[in-house]
């Protein structure tokens, strides 16, 4: 499904803003515009979101290093094409899927959906500037994914972190000796089993950090054709997810009750979700709907409906 002319124009205009703002928060503008459009939002809604969201953003004009890097990538796209550029770039970026709390991965996936070369170039430059691998990849058959998460919960459920944001906490975990003992990826993980685990952890806690597991999984789905080794991509993703999971283990100590959720069709779910003023809610609901097309798990609908109920949409 192609984006509307207005959405493409707003994404293009939005490139005048930095990829981050307020000391490291991620600019979700292009991602949310794409999600809103594909959820069926009207032009008035798209314009309203754009003008409300940009009030907090910062101009990119003085970031010469970033602009130069993005321009070089855009030239590569012009010369080699989007597909070849993505394949080449992702072969180098694969070890850093959790960069900026998965937002580099997520922004690139939405950029690919937009098919705008400059937005793709900006997304790749954003990722390259924040490239930060966690720990070398290794695999193990000494535990499965569920056992790994159980052990991480036991170790980290009472751990305090110094960092203020998710991305820095993930990097903090990656250096922790107790995480390094459990960083190896189970040999038997698959795309489907990974999704089931990611869904279960978020549905149990509704934790903000674990929400990114779902939106990042969706991004991995979108970008998977551009990874030369999809098994390796999944393994790197799982390693990144477990580091993020370790920062959120405390959520299992205080499980929150959830409001009674409505039972809606996906069409109505997307329509209501597009009314949210929360960019994470919009992307979560859109991601659930897209993942559902490949893996029709009832829990994906339940997560979307709980979010709608929570915000009274």
pLDDT digits (tens, 9 = 90+) for 88-102: 999 999 999 999 999
Helix ranges restricted to H, the chain:
5-13, 29-38, 43-53, 64-80, 82-93, 103-114, 117-129, 145-156, 166-174, 177-180, 191-205, 208-223, 230-247, 266-273, 279-294, 298-311
31-69, pLDDT tens digit by residue? 999 999 999 999 999 999 999 999 999 999 999 999 999
Question: Residues 144-159: pLDDT tens digits?
Answer: 999 999 999 999 988 8
pLDDT, tens only, 247-273: 998 877 766 566 667 789 999 999 999
For the chain, the residue count is 313
Give the domain ranges of the chain: 5-129, 139-253, 266-311
Let me know: does 303 contact 214? Beta carbons within 8 Å: yes
17 strand-pairing partners: 59
pTM: 0.96
């Amino acid at each position: 499904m192609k984006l509307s002319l207005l959405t493409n124009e707003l994404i293009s205009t939005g490139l005048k803003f930095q990829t981050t703002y307020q000391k490291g928060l991620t600019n979700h503008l292009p991602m949310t515009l794409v999600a809103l459009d594909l959820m069926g939002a009207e032009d008035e809604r798209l314009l309203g979101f754009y003008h409300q969201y940009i009030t907090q953003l910062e101009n990119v004009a003085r970031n010469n290093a970033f602009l130069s890097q993005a321009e070089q990538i855009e030239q590569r796209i012009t010369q080699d094409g989007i597909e070849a550029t993505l394949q080449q770039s992702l072969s180098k970026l694969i070890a850093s899927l959790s960069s900026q709390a998965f937002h580099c991965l997520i922004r690139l996936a939405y950029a690919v959906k937009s098919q705008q070369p400059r937005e793709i170039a900006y997304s790749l430059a954003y990722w390259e500037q924040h490239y930060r691998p966690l720990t070398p990849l290794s695999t193990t058959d000494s535990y499965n994914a569920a056992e790994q998460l159980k052990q991480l919960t036991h170790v980290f459920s009472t751990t305090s972190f110094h960092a203020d944001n998710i991305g820095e906490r993930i990097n903090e975990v990656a250096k922790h000796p107790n995480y390094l003992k459990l960083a190896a990826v189970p040999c038997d993980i698959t795309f489907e089993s990974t999704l089931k685990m990611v869904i279960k952890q978020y549905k149990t806690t509704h934790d903000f950090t674990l929400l990114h597991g779902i939106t990042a999984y969706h991004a991995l789905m979108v970008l998977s054709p551009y990874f030369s080794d999809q098994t390796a991509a999944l393994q790197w993703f799982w390693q990144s997810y477990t580091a993020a999971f370790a920062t959120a283990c405390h959520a299992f100590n205080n499980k929150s009750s959830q409001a009674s959720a409505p039972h809606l069709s996906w069409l109505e779910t997307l329509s209501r979700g597009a009314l949210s003023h929360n960019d994470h809610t919009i992307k979560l609901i859109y991601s659930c709907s897209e993942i559902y097309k490949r893996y029709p798990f009832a829990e994906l609908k339940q997560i979307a409906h709980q979010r709608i109920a929570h915000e009274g949409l």
